[in-house]
Every structure is written in C-alpha cells, then in structure tokens.
C-alpha cells in the first residue's frame, strides 16, 4: 500500500514537471497551431543559465536565497530573449508556408540549441547546488520532500495564473482572438506579431522555471536533458488536448502517473514479459493511441482539419 | 494498375542534370585530397625502423573525456618506448602513434579500422567501447592485424573466433562474477535488486552479476531497468523498495549511478549500493555528494601502488595529462605488452609476434597479464573499492594471479 | 535525336567514372575512403526511400530509420549463428538463407511495418504524423533493445555479430576476389553491389516520379482535398508511399547488415532518422538528384570536418576548441533553418516543388 502511494507521489511529481513544460507547448500551439519542437531545449537552456548565474552569484558572496531568486529572474529573462529570437528568426518568416517548413526549422533550432549548449557548458553533467534544505515528509509510509512539493504546487499555481491571463486580461483576449482567426484579429486592431512574441516569451519564461525545478529536483543539469523531456511534455499536452491549459496540466499528471505506475506494476500484470525497460514506450503508445482514437485529447474540442 | 504508370521514356534532361551533379562532387573530392593528412614520419634517424601503432577511441562526443584519457595512456607508452630505444630483430625501432576518432559509433569504427589498416599499422590499441570494438575486429582480423582493446568488456568481443583479438581488461563475465560473489559472500547480501541501463555494457555486466549472485546463494528479488539518458529513477527505485532487498546493484555509468544514489537516499532506502567500473570515477563523488558515501564499485586490475611501476606511472601521467579518468593505465599496458611481444618475437610483423603475444606473461601497471586461448585475461584481477570520507578507497583485490616474486 | 545521343554519351562517361571510382579513391585517399563512399551510397538509398514519403507524398516521417532497422535485423537474424545459439531446438544450425532470398523478405517485412504504422495514423495532420512516426521509431528501437528476454530474439543491447557476408554467384564479398586478373578487395566488391542497388533505386524512383502514382502523390502533397475531389484514393496512395519508402529502407538495412557484419540497436537512434531527413531536405525534397547530392554531402561532411577542423584549430589555438562532431551538428541544424527560410525547395529543387513552395509569397500578396 505504501508502495502504491509512493508510486502515485512519484507520478504526480514527474507529472508536474511534464505539465510545466506542456503549458509552454500548448500555449504556442493554441495560438499558432505550431509544434514548437525546440521548447524542450529552451527548458534545458533555462536550467543551464540558472546554474551558471547561481554559481557566479554564490561566488560573489551573495546569500543563497537571494542568489537563487536572482538566478531565476536571470534565467527567465535569458529564456524570454531566446524565445523571442526563435520566433522572430525561425517561425515568423514561415507563418504562411506549408506546415512542413516550420516543423523542419523547429528541428533545426532544437539541434542548434543543443549543440550550442554543449559548446558553452560542455558535455559533462553539472551538479546543481542544493541551496534550500529539502526536508522529507512522510505520508502513510510514502515520502515527499520539499522541492517535490514545491514543483507540484508551482505547476498548479502557474496553470491558474495563465488561466487568469488568458481569460481575464486584455492581452488574453488578444491571444484568444489571434488563435481564433489571425486576419480577423488584425482587422480588429490586434497587433498579431506582438501577441505572438509575447506568447513565446511567456512560454519560454515558464520553460526557464521548469528547467530550474528539474535541475533542483535531480541535482543535475546536462545539455541533453531537454530533448526527451520536451517530447514527453508534448505527449502530455496532446493527451490533455493541445491548446487547452487545463488539458496540459491534466495530461502531464496523467502521463506521470502512467509512467510510474506502468514501470511499477506492468511486470506483475504481464507475468514478467514486459518490465520497466518499456517505461519510455508507454508515453509513445499513449501518444499514438490518443492521436488515433481521440485526436482532440481528453479536454480539447474537436478541431477541423487545418490545411 | 500501378505498373501502367511506369512508362519507359529516355529523359535526356535527367541524364544531363545527373552528370552535372557529379561535377561539384568531383571538385569536392579534389578539395578533400588536400585535407587528407598523411601520417607524419617524425624524426627518424637513419637505419631506424618506423613502426606504426594505431589507436582508436571516441575523441569527440559525450565520451570524449574517456577517449582522450585512452589516447593519452597510449601516447605515453609510445613516448616511453621511444625514449628507451627499443631494439627489435637487431634494428632500433621508432614507434609512431596513429590515433583515430571512432565517435563511439559502430559505423565510424569500421571506417577508422579501415584507415588504420590502410596506414599499415603493426597493431591497434582499441577500441574503447564494445560496440565499436566488435565490428572493427572483423576488419583487423581480415588483415591479420593484432587488436588489443584496453576497455571493451563485452564477452562477445573475444568470442567471435578471431585469433587477432585481445584485451587487457576483465570482461563482463569476469567482473560480474567478482561483483556477484562479493555481494553474496563478503557483504552477506541475501536479497538483491538489480537495475541496468540497457546498454551493451550495463546489461552485460548486470546479467553476469545475477548469475554469480545466484550461484552464491543470494536471491534476485527485483530486476528493473532504466536507460543511459534517464534522470528520474523514483519509479523503479520504489519497486525495489517494495521488494526489501539488502543490496542494489546498478549496471551502468556515472551519469545515472550518481543521481540514483541520491534518489535512494531521498526515498529512504537503506541498502548497500554497488556498481561496476562504469561508476568508478571521481565525477561520481562530485555528482552524488553525500549520497556517494559507502557506495561500492570495482575496477579491473590491481591498485596501482601494488604493482611495480604503478605508482611511478600514475605520478608521471598526472604530471603530464592531469588526473587519470578511467582506462589510461590499461592503454599503457596494452602498448607495452604489444611491444614486449614484438621484442620477444624479434619482429613487428603481426603474423610473427601474434603467437608470442598469445603466450606472453607480462607485468603491467594494472596487473600481471596473461591471455587465455580466446585472448581474454587469465585470472583477471579485480579490485573492490568503496567511497569513504569522500574518496574511493580500495578494499581488496580478488581473482588475481599472484605477482611474480622479485 | 542529337540531345538523345548526347545524353547517352554523358551516361556512358558517368558510368565509367563510377565504375572506376573505388580504384581512384583507393589510390588517391586510401581504402578507408572507399568504405566511406560505400556508406554514402547506403545513405543515398535510405534518403531516396524517405524522399518517396517526404518528397513525393509530403508526409513528414521522423522514424524512418526504424524500417532500416527492421531490414537489418531481418538479415542479421537469418544470416548469423544467433538463432542457433538462442533456439538450438528449433534452429540447430541457424537459418543461413541466401542473401538474395532474405533481401526481398526484409523489404516486404519493412513494407508491412510501414503499412502497420501508416494505416491508423495517416489521417493525422502533418505535424501530428511527424510526432507519431518519431514515437514509432523509438518504440521499434526500444523493442529491439529489450527483446533478449524472456526469449532471446534480438540479443538485446549486445547486438548480433558474425553475420554472413553477401554472396554473389557463390563468391562471398568478404574476401578479396580476382576477376580477370584484377583483384577486388571486399570494400570494392561492396561498392559495386551498392552501386547496382543505388542505380536500381534511382531508376525506380525516377519512374515512380513520372508515373501516375507519382503525380497522384504530388497532387496529394499539394492539396489533399483537391486531390481527393479529383478522384484520387488518398488513403491508399499515402499507404503505398509509406510502404514503398519502408521497403527501400528495409532493403538498405539488409545490405547494411551484410556489409557491417554486426548490428546493434545503437545504430538506429532518432538522430539517424533526422540525419536522413536532413539529406532529403537539404538536397531538395522530391528531387532525385538533389537528394543524392544531399546524401553525399551529409555522409562525407563529417569526414571532411574531421580532417580539416581538427588540424586547423590545432594550428590556430593549439588545442581543439570546438569538436568537429558538434560543429557538424551545428552546421546541420543551421542548414535546416536557413534552407527552409531561403531555399525551401532545397539546393537542387524539383521544378514542381519550386513552384509550389515559392508560391506562398505570391498568394500572400494577392
């Protein structure tokens, strides 16, 4: 029983990480209908930036908590600039090109970012300093520590915050208008380029936070950490219904649970035929199954085929 | 119905473009000829015999730091030999290193192997990984060139029936056996959990560990898996926790072993954690922090200070290239044993010195080296280490051939 | 008539140049380069196969290497002692079928996988299809990597070694053969084998492009709804594109296994799929010669970089600042972006493709 509870906690924590990253995917997709393949790399750059600024600030003798806050801000700013440039350079000129084109540039951006990061920060794994003592808490035999709890709460809070932005503010209204119909929005006086840029910057800022949380949780940062995470998070976004903020959260948590419970119990269910060696397969199977049977995802509305 | 569409017409414009397309290719290959480096002959005094020794490891890519370490170990041995002034078959010999980058990629490895054969090397030190050593071994064997791998551990490498393949590193079976025995006997573990990373190295080692642990009366209560890019192990560790083992063995490398040690602590799993040589680097301790304390790992060979010349090698290597990563001493031994065989045979021809090499007994810096009929190490000394006070400390050496009395 | 004659001469010159290529390369650069050329041809075959899917039918496939893997394992299993070791009761001596029997089987099996993947997913939109195919590629790799237990089918991460060499007319290509007094080492022999297959693949691709099927594919690529309104069975034709592409991939996989003598799952990573896609995109989607050019560029570039960047940096900085592998990837990534922005139809675009991809700006202004 405590093992099951622990697996559920593992799944929820991992799922919150997926959800944080999935929010970024879903925002961009909701507005542009574009899979920002490079989003996972932005997460990685966020983690790396945070790590670098953290080590520098700590080296300058700044107190840990202040240094942590400052480095979060720096990482967010860095990622926002990155997100803006990615959109400006690689996606905007192709906004009216066939669908294949921006997808291919997105793959290109992803490769470039990964290799740039490798040149700047090296290939080795960097250990991420543990600044806040992370106390373990026990619930019925299962353990959750502070950082994990923060990740879970943060993911929920950010989702709620984004909901407010999208549904209650002027900017949000403009975003929804652009998502609905770019030409009509433009005619109504919405500056679409500005709205799209802001969306990318928002998504990238979230990516920076996600990167920092992942690194803090595992105590590691590495140039390759973003790719698979991005892929899983995209799966989560699709599972929940891409373009839907609540869907991203739900999809993330569900995927996390599927992975941890799958890895934990599939061996028992299949008599040892399948095991945790197929952990990564679950995500892809879920993805294929959702796309084939319910392409709109769990919470998404049915979208007509866009050419 | 589909065949009807395939009408036969000669399309002249197609042919012309096809031809035109070859022009840039031709220019391109011409440009290449400028880039191709011819192996430098170095300063060879008159009458000296130039002998080329090939070496291959991933010098770029994620394992570049290990590959460089290998290259440095090989280079140092070759420089040492040249300073000493080796005489083979009555002629003074000048050794020359031809080092190639195989990127840890099986395809590139065969290209590199072909290049080394082209360069008429007398022997090859490499490759670093099993996945590259195996496809390359076929090419060396076809050209009758001796290959000594310093670090390929897959059993398969020497089991292909090639006379030309050797290694100076204990294979997975030898190392897994020592690890399994040690876990079950010395550490008295009754219930053991195993995780491997599904790479050729991790899986091979874990399977041999399981065999040995079972043979020594331990029970394998869980066998879980991860991959060599994973960061999160909480799900599999929770499964392990549910089976209440007293020891966890991980078959894999440091980037996963270190966070795994941390997550073990976070999930309050109090058990002994053990890994093979893939976990034995200084990096493990930096990445795992406090969680590294008490972790066991093995390294094939005897500790350097127990072997004659070992300490001195370490001192000189560190002064020249910095800290030893992992396999540099094995490369050093591989070169020296090759040269020793050449001296004994009085020839640098692979076909001449190969039989001598197969029967040689050589005192290296890592161990006393003898080969069995497959080209594997006889005996295969393996040393068990444990992290104590933030440092790897040797516990004991198992399965060694006793060093000759001096 | 004159141009016909001219083109025949050009063809003849080209053919002779290609036939002499291994000997020229061998004497000029060494045998290692002949092997590189061999691999380049394998990649060209793969790229041409993917070109059918991406270039002709406009379906982005990011898991194409899976079909290559299926073909490679098909020959590896039947041509190595692995099955005899794993299932001594069923296959006491292994299978050891002739390569010429396994090759079509490998192609068919890969084609079957293509249909299996295509049937449920082809109605998805382009970008969803890309992600699903990516997932499929990873699933195949993970299964190959793990199917050593409970029954040892693929030997897992250890891979399968000692795969039989390809036999042509009873003569194995793995040993030097003397024909008419000229000695042909194995790499040369494989060169001619691959050359034959590449020529065949080019021929089939070329015929497909000009055929009704090819035109139908391009119609689907340009406007699926219009194509189906014109009476084209889009589902069947898309499936056919997938199956054809997969068959090319499977056949090259079998050739790869015979050539290399060793296969392991690490040769079939996602990066390989992306690399083959780069070849197609770089050269010009839908254009055979462009794709060949892209294949050669991308297969040879890493070698060129290795031999130019490393010594250059050593001369300039005394050490290696940027290693050629990352530089190569950086160049590929940048090339993908730049190509899409400025030459979306590739280095050598097909005429139709140029019209299609260049038209958006006009449409936008209108």
What HEC string does B149-192 produce?
A: ECCCCCHHHHCCCCCCEEECCCCHHHHHHHHHHHHHHHCCCCEE
B162 touches chain A (CB under 8 A): no
Q: How far apart are CA C238 and CA C57, in angstroms?
A: 7
Q: Is-contact B181 B216, C-beta < 8 A?
A: yes
Q: Is-contact B128 B169, C-beta < 8 A?
A: no
Token representation of residue C105: 């089987």
Strands of B247-251's sheet in order across: B219-225, B191-196, B247-251, B272-275, B296-300, B382-388, B391-398
Q: Is-contact C326 A115, C-beta < 8 A?
A: yes
Angstrom CA distances, C271 to B5, B65, C65, C86, C137, stand at 35, 22, 9, 30, 11
What pLDDT does A294 receive? 82
What pLDDT does A40 receive? 94
Stated as kind and residue range, the H or E segment containing B98 is strand B91-101
Contacts of A284 (CB under 8 A, 6+ apart): A235, C135, C136, C138, C139
Residues of chain B neighbouring C348 (CB-CB closer than 8 A): 17, 21
Q: Is residue A226 part of a domain?
A: yes
Total-model pTM: 0.88
Neighbouring C-beta atoms of residue C41, cutoff 10 Å: 26
What pLDDT does B406 receive? 42
What pLDDT does B41 receive? 42
Range list of H helices, B37-129: 64-84, 106-118
Q: Is-contact B119 B98, C-beta < 8 A?
A: yes
Q: How far apart are CA A86 and CA A112, in angstroms?
A: 11
What pLDDT does A2 receive? 84
What pLDDT does B40 receive? 42
- Contact criterion met (CB < 8 Å) for A125 and B242: no
Angstrom CA distances, C306 to A122, B60, C303, stand at 19, 10, 5
E-assigned strand segments in chain C: 167-168, 171-172, 177-179, 182-184
- Contact criterion met (CB < 8 Å) for C120 and A104: no
Token representation of residue B234: 């909480």
Length of chain A, in residues: 307
Q: Give the alpha-carbon dihedral of A173, A176, A182, A187, to 10 degrees.
A: -20
Domains belonging to chain C, first-starting first, are 2-365 (1.10.3470)
ipTM for the assembly: 0.89
Average of per-residue pLDDT across B223-231: 90
Q: Can you give the CATH number for the domain in which A75 is found?
A: 1.10.3470
Q: How far apart are CA B360 and CA A31, in angstroms?
A: 71
Q: Is residue A232 part of a domain?
A: yes
Length of chain B, in residues: 406
Q: What range defines the domain where residue A217 resides? A: 2-126+143-306
Q: How far apart are CA B237 and CA C121, in angstroms?
A: 35
Size of interface A-B (CB pairs under 8 A): 88
Considering only CB atoms, B236 lies closest to which of A3, A220, A263, namely A263
A-facing residues of B in 226-245 (CB < 8 A) are 226-227, 229, 231-232, 234-236, 238-239, 241-242
**Closest residue of C to A123, CA-based?**
C326
What pLDDT does C320 receive? 66
Q: Is residue A136 part of a domain?
A: no
Considering only CB atoms, A123 lies closest to which of B64, B254, B258, namely B64
Please give the angle made by the CA atoms of C59, A88 and A192, to the nearest 5 degrees: 90
What pLDDT does C48 receive? 95
| Bridge partners, B94 (sequence order) | B50
Q: Give the alpha-carbon dihedral of C63, C67, C68, C73, to 10 degrees.
A: 130
Give how far B294 is from chain C: nearest CA, Å: 30
Q: Is-contact A225 B255, C-beta < 8 A?
A: no
- Contact criterion met (CB < 8 Å) for B198 and C156: yes
Q: Is C162 strand, coil or helix?
A: coil
Contacts of A292 (CB under 8 A, 6+ apart): C120, C121, C124
pLDDT at B338 over 90: yes
Task: Give per-residue pLDDT as tens, C139-153.
Answer: 999 999 999 877 888
Q: How far apart are CA C208 and CA C198, in angstroms?
A: 15
Q: Is residue A133 part of a domain?
A: no
Give how far B74 is from chain C: nearest CA, Å: 19
Q: Give the alpha-carbon dihedral of A125, A126, A132, A133, to 10 degrees.
A: 50
Q: How far apart are CA A145 and CA A126, in angstroms?
A: 22
Q: What is the pLDDT along chain A (307 residues), one digit of tens a residue?
A: 788 999 999 999 999 999 999 999 898 888 888 888 899 999 999 999 999 999 999 989 888 889 999 999 999 999 999 999 999 999 999 888 877 788 889 989 999 999 999 888 887 888 888 777 778 888 888 888 888 899 999 989 998 999 999 889 999 999 989 988 888 999 999 999 999 999 999 999 999 999 999 998 888 898 889 988 998 998 899 888 888 889 999 999 999 999 999 888 887 777 777 888 888 888 888 888 888 888 788 887 544 333 3
Q: Is-contact B134 B157, C-beta < 8 A?
A: yes
What pLDDT does C58 receive? 87
| Placement of tokens 């042509």 in the chain | C168
| Placement of tokens 């050669």 in the chain | C296
Q: How far apart are CA B7 and CA C122, in angstroms?
A: 29
Q: Is residue A138 part of a domain?
A: no
B199 touches chain A (CB under 8 A): no
Q: What is the pLDDT along chain C (366 residues), one digit of tens a residue?
A: 456 788 888 888 888 888 888 898 888 888 888 999 999 999 999 999 999 999 899 888 999 999 999 999 999 999 888 888 888 888 887 778 889 999 999 999 999 999 998 888 887 877 788 888 988 999 999 999 999 877 888 989 999 988 988 988 888 888 888 888 888 888 999 999 999 999 999 999 999 998 999 999 999 888 888 998 989 898 899 999 999 999 999 999 999 999 998 999 989 988 889 889 988 888 878 888 888 988 888 888 877 887 777 777 777 776 666 777 778 888 888 988 988 888 777 776 666 666 665 544 433 333
Task: Give per-residue pLDDT as tens, B262-312.
Answer: 999 989 999 999 999 988 888 899 999 889 999 999 988 888 888 878 889
Considering only CB atoms, C138 lies closest to which of A238, A277, A280, namely A280
Q: Is-contact B77 B139, C-beta < 8 A?
A: no
Length of chain C, in residues: 366
B255 touches chain A (CB under 8 A): yes
Give how far C6 is from chain B: nearest CA, Å: 8
Helix A279-293 and helix C99-121, axial crossing angle in degrees, nearest 10? 60
| Bridge partners, B93 (sequence order) | B49
Contacts of A181-188 with C-beta under 8 Å, sequence gap 24+, read: none
Q: Is-contact C63 C245, C-beta < 8 A?
A: no
Stated as kind and residue range, the H or E segment containing B55 is strand B49-57
Q: How far apart are CA A158 and CA B47, in angstroms?
A: 77
Task: Give per-residue pLDDT as tens, B152-207.
Answer: 999 989 998 899 999 999 999 999 999 999 999 999 999 999 999 998 899 999 99
B350 touches chain A (CB under 8 A): no
* Count of structural domains, chain A: 1
Q: Determine phi and psi for C363, rounding to 5 degrees.
A: -60, -35
Q: Is-contact C197 C48, C-beta < 8 A?
A: no
Q: Is-contact C256 C197, C-beta < 8 A?
A: no
Q: Determine phi and psi for A171, rounding to 5 degrees.
A: -60, -40
Q: Is residue A294 part of a domain?
A: yes
Q: Is residue A9 part of a domain?
A: yes
What pLDDT does B37 receive? 42
Token representation of residue A157: 């809070």
Range list of H helices, chain A: 2-32, 39-59, 64-86, 100-121, 146-168, 170-180, 182-187, 192-218, 225-240, 245-269, 279-293
Among B101, B98, B100, B99, smallest CA distance to B61 is for: B101
| Placement of tokens 């649970």 in the chain | A257
Among C264, A125, C150, C99, smallest CA distance to B231 is for: A125
Q: Is-contact C51 C288, C-beta < 8 A?
A: yes
Q: Is-contact A6 A264, C-beta < 8 A?
A: no
What secondary structure letter does DSSP report for C57?
A: S
Task: Give per-residue pLDDT as tens, B7-32.
Answer: 334 445 555 555 555 555 554 554 44
Chain A touching partners, 3 or more CB pairs below 8 A: B, C
Q: How far apart are CA A228 and CA B172, in angstroms?
A: 30
Q: Is residue A134 part of a domain?
A: no
Considering only CB atoms, B200 lies closest to which of C159, C306, C348, namely C159
């Amino acid at each position: 029983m405590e093992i099951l509870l622990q697996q559920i906690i593992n799944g929820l924590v991992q799922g919150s990480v997926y959800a944080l990253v999935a929010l970024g995917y879903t925002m961009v997709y909701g507005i542009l209908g574009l899979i920002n393949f490079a989003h996972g790399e932005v997460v990685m750059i966020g983690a790396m930036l945070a790590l670098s600024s953290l080590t520098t600030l700590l080296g300058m003798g700044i107190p840990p908590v202040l240094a942590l806050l400052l480095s979060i801000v720096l990482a967010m700013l860095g990622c926002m600039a990155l997100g803006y440039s990615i959109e400006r350079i690689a996606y905007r000129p192709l906004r009216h090109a066939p669908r294949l084109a921006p997808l291919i540039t997105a793959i290109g951006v992803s490769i470039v970012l990964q290799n740039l990061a490798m040149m700047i920060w090296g290939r080795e794994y960097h250990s991420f300093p543990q600044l806040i003592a992370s106390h373990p808490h026990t619930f019925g035999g299962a353990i959750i520590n502070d950082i994990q709890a923060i990740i879970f709460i943060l993911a929920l809070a950010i989702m709620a915050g984004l909901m407010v932005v999208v549904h209650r503010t002027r900017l949000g209204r403009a975003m929804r208008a652009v998502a609905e119909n770019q030409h009509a929005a433009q005619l109504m006086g919405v500056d679409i380029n500005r709205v799209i840029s802001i969306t990318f910057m928002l998504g990238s800022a979230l990516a920076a936070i996600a990167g920092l949380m992942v690194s803090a949780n595992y105590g590691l940062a590495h140039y390759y950490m973003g790719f698979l995470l991005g892929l899983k998070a995209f799966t989560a976004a699709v599972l929940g219904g891409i373009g839907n903020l609540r869907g991203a959260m739900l999809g993330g948590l569900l995927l996390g649970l599927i992975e941890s419970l799958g890895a934990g119990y599939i061996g028992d269910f299949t008599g040892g035929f399948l095991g945790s060696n197929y952990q990564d397969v679950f995500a892809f199977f879920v993805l294929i199954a959702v796309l084939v049977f319910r392409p709109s995802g769990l919470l998404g509305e049915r979208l007509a085929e866009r050419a | 119905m589909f065949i009807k569409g395939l009408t036969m017409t000669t399309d002249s414009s197609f042919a012309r473009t096809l031809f035109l397309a070859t022009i840039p290719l031709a220019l391109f290959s011409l440009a290449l000829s400028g880039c191709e480096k011819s192996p430098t002959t170095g300063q060879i005094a008159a009458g000296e015999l130039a002998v080329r020794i090939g070496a291959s490891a991933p010098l770029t890519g994620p394992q570049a730091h290990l590959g460089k370490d290998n290259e440095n170990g090989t280079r140092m041995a070759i420089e040492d030999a040249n300073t000493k002034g080796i005489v083979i078959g009555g002629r003074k010999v000048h050794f020359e290193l031809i080092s190639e980058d195989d990127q840890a990629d099986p395809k590139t490895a065969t290209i590199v192997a072909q290049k080394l054969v082209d360069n008429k090397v007398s022997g090859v030190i490499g490759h670093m990984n099993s996945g590259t050593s195996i496809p390359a071994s076929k090419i060396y064997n076809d050209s009758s060139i001796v290959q000594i791998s310093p670090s390929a551990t897959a059993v398969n490498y020497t089991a292909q029936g090639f006379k030309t393949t050797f290694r100076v590193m204990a294979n997975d079976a030898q190392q897994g056996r020592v690890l399994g025995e040690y876990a079950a006997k010395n550490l008295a573990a009754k219930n053991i959990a195993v995780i491997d990373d599904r790479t050729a190295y991790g899986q091979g080692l874990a399977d041999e560990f399981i065999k040995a642990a079972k043979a020594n009366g331990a029970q394998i209560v869980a066998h879980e898996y991860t991959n060599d890019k994973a960061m999160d192990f909480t799900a599999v560790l929770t499964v392990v926790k549910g089976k209440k083992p007293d020891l966890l063995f991980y078959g894999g490398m440091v980037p996963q072993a270190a966070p795994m040690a941390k997550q073990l602590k976070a999930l309050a799993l109090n058990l002994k954690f053990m890994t093979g040589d893939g976990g034995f680097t200084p990096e493990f301790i930096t990445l795992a922090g406090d969680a590294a304390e008490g972790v066991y790992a093995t390294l094939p060979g005897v500790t350097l200070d127990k072997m004659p010349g070992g300490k001195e090698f370490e001192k000189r290597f560190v002064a020249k290239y910095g800290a030893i990563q992992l396999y540099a001493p094995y490369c050093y031994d591989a070169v020296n044993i090759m040269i020793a065989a050449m001296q004994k045979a009085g020839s640098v021809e692979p076909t001449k010195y190969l039989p001598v090499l197969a029967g040689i007994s050589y005192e290296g810096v890592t161990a006393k080296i003898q080969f069995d009929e497959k080209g594997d190490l006889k005996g295969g000394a393996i040393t068990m280490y444990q992290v104590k006070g933030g440092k790897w400390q040797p516990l004991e050496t198992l399965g060694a051939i006793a060093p000759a009395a001096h | 008539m004159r141009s016909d004659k001219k083109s025949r001469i050009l063809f003849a010159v080209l053919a002779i140049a290609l036939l002499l290529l291994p000997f020229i390369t061998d004497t000029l650069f060494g045998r290692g380069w002949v092997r590189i050329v061999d691999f380049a041809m394998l990649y060209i075959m793969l790229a041409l196969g993917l070109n059918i899917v991406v270039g002709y039918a406009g379906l982005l496939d990011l898991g194409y290497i899976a079909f290559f893997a299926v073909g490679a394992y098909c020959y590896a299993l039947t041509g190595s002692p692995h099955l005899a070791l794993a299932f001594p009761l069923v296959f006491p001596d292994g299978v050891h079928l002739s390569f010429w029997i396994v090759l079509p089987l490998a192609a068919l099996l890969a084609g079957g996988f293509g249909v299996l993947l295509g049937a449920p997913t082809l109605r998805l939109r382009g970008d969803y299809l890309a992600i699903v195919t990516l997932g499929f590629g990873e699933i195949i790799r993970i299964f190959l990597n793990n199917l050593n237990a409970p029954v040892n089918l693929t030997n897992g991460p250890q891979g399968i070694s000692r795969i039989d060499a390809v036999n042509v007319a009873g003569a194995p290509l793995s040993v030097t053969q003397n024909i008419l007094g000229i000695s042909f080492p194995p790499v040369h022999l494989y060169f001619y084998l691959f050359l034959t297959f590449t020529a065949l693949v080019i021929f089939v691709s070329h015929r497909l492009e000009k055929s009704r099927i090819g035109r139908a594919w391009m119609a689907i690529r340009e406007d699926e709804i219009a194509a189906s309104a014109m009476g084209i069975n889009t589902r069947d034709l898309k499936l056919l594109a997938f199956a054809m592409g997969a068959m090319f991939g499977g056949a090259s996989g079998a050739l790869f296994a015979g050539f290399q003598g060793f296969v392991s799952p690490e040769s079939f990573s996602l990066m390989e799929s992306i690399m083959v896609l780069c070849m197609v995109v770089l050269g010009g989607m839908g254009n055979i010669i462009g794709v060949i050019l892209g294949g050669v560029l991308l297969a040879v570039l890493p070698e060129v970089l290795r031999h130019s960047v490393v010594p250059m940096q050593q001369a300039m900085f005394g050490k290696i600042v940027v290693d050629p592998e990352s530089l190569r990837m950086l160049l590929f990534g940048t090339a993908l972006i730049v190509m899409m922005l400025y030459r979306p139809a590739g280095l050598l675009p097909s005429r139709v493709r140029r019209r299609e991809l260049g038209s958006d700006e006009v449409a936008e202004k209108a």
